[in-house]
Amino acid sequence: MSTPERGSSYFVKSTEKSLAVLLAFSASAPRLSVTEVAEATGITRAAARRFVLTLVDLGYLTTDGSTFELTPRVLDFGAGFLAGLDLPKVAHPHLEQLAHSLDESATLSVLDRDEAVYIARVAAPRLHSVTVNVGRRLPAWATSMGRVLIAALPDDARSDLLGRVTVTPFTDHTIATAAQLTEEIERVRRQGWSLVSQELDDGLRGLAVPVRRGPHTLAALNISLHASQLRGTSVETGLVPRLHDTAAAIAADYGGRS
């Protein structure tokens, strides 16, 4: 996962410390004293005491006077995210149909800072023994789904992300410069799809389109293509329309047809 920009002018240390205090509690450590919180978070005991007492007042911790534990109110933090997890469930049958019809792996990804994160995936039938875990992260700039997601960002956010990227030569085919990457992202934005050929792994190509609901891009839909299997297949006329149709079906089932 990308590192927070702690040196930025907007970065609020107290927010970071509050979240660190909450994350100190776990299944193996459900109850902690002030001293244990301080040790787990690397803050002073005096600061730890202020944070836990504030969180008690806010209802996120409860105390018996000497130890503290989480309350159910902490579930509020994940409620919005969990509500959005219907998307992978809705997408799965469409990914399954696409993977079986093309005999290629189909993936749904979202953007998390500078990385594309798998939120749903169905492996190609011929690769039934291969497992790629949901949650896998890849550098967004070097993948087809990542480039689709970057291209969908507002202008300022897209410029900021591309300004942070360090172009790394994963293979001999990887885009060589930041200027070339910016040009490629603009091309993806215009055409509405991305094909990345052997830039992250030799012999592997990725094709992706956005999953849109109205003006919003919900995710990127991707299929993996081995270079040898592309012979005689038109990407633009044979595969891109099929991915767009699947993406439209996912968006329709997720948000309702307009």
190-221 pLDDT tens trace: 999 999 988 877 878 899 999 998 888 999 99
Same domain, 248 and 198: yes
Other C-beta atoms within 10 Å of 235: how many? 15
Of 29, 61, 78, the last residue of a domain is 78
The answer to whether residue 184 sits within a structural domain is yes
- pTM for this prediction: 0.66
Same domain, 22 and 122: no
Same domain, 30 and 103: no
Contact 56, 62 (CB under 8 A): yes
Tokens of 229: 């299997």
Q: What residue ranges of the chain have pLDDT lower than 70?
A: 1-8, 79-85, 126-132, 227-233, 255-258
130-163 pLDDT tens trace: 556 788 888 999 999 999 999 999 999 999 999 9
Indicate the number of domains in the chain: 2
Same domain, 178 and 219: yes
Phi, psi for residue 63 in degrees, rounded to 5: -140, 150
Give the residue numbers spanning the domain of 163: 84-255
**Which amino acid belongs to residue 114?**
D
Same domain, 38 and 68: yes
Same domain, 102 and 170: yes
